[in-house]
Structures are given as C-alpha cells and as structure tokens.
Amino acid sequence: MTSAKNFHDPPSIPRGDFELGRLKSLSYSREAITTAMIAHLHPGRYYPEDKLPPREKQALERFKYQGSWKLGNVDNIEDLTEFFDLFNDMYFNGLLTGYCKLVLIRAGTLQKRFLESGLIGRCEPSFPKEGRDPRFQPEKVMCTLSIAIEDDRRVLRQEKGSWKRIQDRLDTLVHEMLHAMFDIYTCRCEKGCRQKLEGEGGGGHHVAWLAVAKAIERKDADGHRQFPCLGLDFARLTSLVGDLQLGYNLPRL
C-alpha cells in the first residue's frame, strides 16, 4: 500500500511545454495528457493557417505538395512513414518522434499473435525495467505500431478500391499513434500511478483516449475539411465495444 506521504501526484502540462524536448516520458496522468492535447488541438473551431502552431502549419504545407500515396502499391512502408510524420506534426506536435517503430503485417498473423479476430492495428509498448528478459531492457519507452494488410489481395481488390484501402490505413495509423501517445507519456510509477491505471478499468480505449480521439475528429471536420483524406475516423464506438467483448469493464467516467 502506498502511503499518502509517498504518493506521486503527476504534474500538469503547461501549454508552452507541449512540445518535443520539454515533455518527459512516463511522467504525467492521462488527464493531464488529455487536457494538454485538447488545448493544443482547439477542437470545434477553425483557425486560419497563420495562427496554427508551427509544426501543424508546416505539416499542412507538406501535405499539400507531398501528401500522396502509391495507388499501385497501397501496402508500402514508405507512404505509411510519410503520413506518420505528417500526423505526428499535425496532431501531436512532434511528440512521438523517436519513440515509435512502424510495421506492416498480414492481418491473419496479427490476429493470431494477439488472439483477437478482426484486429487491424496494434500499439505494443516496451517499457524500461519491464522487459521479459532482464538482460535486454529498453533504455526508454518504445512503441511498435503494427498496421494490418490483407491476406488475400485478390479478394481485397474485388471488395475495396485503392482509395478505401488508403483511408483504412490512415484511420488505423492515427488510431494507434494516439495509443502510443498515452503509452509514452503516462506515468507508471509504483507510487500510486500504476495502481490508478489498473483500477480505472477498461481496455486501451479509456475515457482519456476517447476524448482526444473525438477532438482530432472534430479538428479535421472544422479545420482540415479541404483535405478529403484527413476526415479521420477513430472507430471510437466500435473500439469501446471491442474492449467489452474482450472482457474489460466500461471505463470509469
């Protein structure tokens, strides 16, 4: 039992600190991360480009001239990496830089690995001092973002066009990036923080995750409507139902 004297109260995140190099990994509460992200995103309002945060403004400029995808080869890591970089700057102010590895994997392989039918993406974090092999412990938190590609391309081409497949990749990518954001910056110390996380219930789609997902969707609807493929869908309700089907409790409000 953690005594009140030793209980860790994670700090808030001042708006000026919400940038790469100022935030410290594994240091904040989910609530603080959510508050900072929503303040950064300004959900539900349109801001002229000259008032956007510098990273977001630069990302939108890159998107205008570089935001393309190879239609003849939808399942390629180069385009996925390019959009990871765009989304990282556009929504996360670059805070995922250096913490994530992208992997394309067959859907059947991914689903067998995690024993989840229908799984199309996964964020798998590795934390310092929590590795299975004590000889090989990561020096910092790292997240492997696995994005599923279809097993049978012939069936796929009959059911989905290239554009729909690309949109599915983008939706899955930003979905897993948001999981990574919370994995990277949420405190997991033994002075109450880990116990709090375990006691909140729910799976990966907790209240904080759902709130930021909605904020990004609203950001797109209001401020990025000129870019069709930025109408991102986090599948919030489907994800929450999936957690319940896996046996998790409803997240506490």
pLDDT of residue 44: 44
Q: Does some domain include residue 135?
A: yes
Look at the chain and report how many structural domains it folds into.
1
Share above pLDDT 70 across residues of the chain, in percent, rounded to a whole number: 82
Cβ–Cβ contacts within 10 Å for residue 192, how many? 18
Q: Does some domain include residue 8?
A: no
Strand 121-126 relative to strand 100-106, pairing: unpaired
Q: Does some domain include residue 119?
A: yes
Average pLDDT over residues 52-57: 85
Asked whether the predicted pLDDT for residue 211 surpasses 80, the reply is: yes
pLDDT, tens digit, for every residue of 165-190?
888 999 999 999 999 999 999 998 88
Q: Does some domain include residue 139?
A: yes
pLDDT, tens digit, for every residue of 7-48?
888 999 998 899 999 999 999 999 999 999 999 987 445 555
Q: Does some domain include residue 6?
A: no
How far, in Å, are 3, 204, 210 from residue 30 at the CA level? 22, 12, 11
Strand partners, 122: 146
**Model-level pTM greater than 0.85?**
yes
Q: Does some domain include residue 2?
A: no
- 3-state SS string for the chain: CCCCCCCCCCCCCCHHHCCCCCCCCCCECHHHHHHHHHHHHCCCCCCCHHHCCHHHHHHHHHHHHHCCCCCCCCCCHHHHHHHHHHHHHHHHCCCCCCCEEEEEEEHHHHHHHHCCCCCCEEEEEECCCCCCCCCCCCCCCEEEEEEEECCCHHHHHHHCCHHHHHHHHHHHHHHHHHHHHHHHHECCCCCCHHHHHHHCCCCCCCHHHHHHHHHHHHHHHHHCCCCHHHCCCCCHHHHHHHHHHCCCCCCCC
- Amino acid 91 reads Y
pLDDT of residue 154: 45
* Domain range enclosing 43: 19-245
pLDDT, tens digit, for every residue of 112-137?
999 888 899 999 999 987 767 666 77
Asked whether the predicted pLDDT for residue 241 surpasses 70, the reply is: yes
pLDDT of residue 155: 46
Q: Does some domain include residue 118?
A: yes
